[in-house]
Structure 1
Amino acid sequence: MDNQKVAQWHAKIIDVCEEKLQRSLSDDERNFVRSREGFAALEMIEDTVAAMSPGQLAAYLNSEIDS
């Protein structure tokens, strides 16, 4: 997949997340989104974040951060 298209898709997903959470994403949350590549992965994360409540979304975005 074209790097520019992947970057645009990442930006779109980040915009959806920030709008839903009504705040800027942390670096870790942005890295969670940006670590996904490939059509299937990006389509899945886009659909997932669109369907989640803000609380679920925050937990999802931070699910890979070591406590």
Structure 2
Amino acid sequence: MYIIKVKGVAKIPDYIQLRDEKFTLLAYFRVDRPDKTLTKIGLGDKIDEIMKLANDLPFGKIVKLEL
């Protein structure tokens, strides 16, 4: 799985994308509201791990996420 942090502009907030090995979009959620989306795709128990990485991640960089 891959994680990408997307910079928002003006009134559009920052977002996080989670993509699988084929780069298919699995989840797309606001940085400040990950709970509902991550729980929905079965990663509710990994929210703290994912958000710690996401907060340190620079915008536009693709990082492989090992869970």
TM-score by length of 1: 0.37
- Higher fraction of strand: 2
- Higher fraction of helix: 1
TM-score by length of 2: 0.37
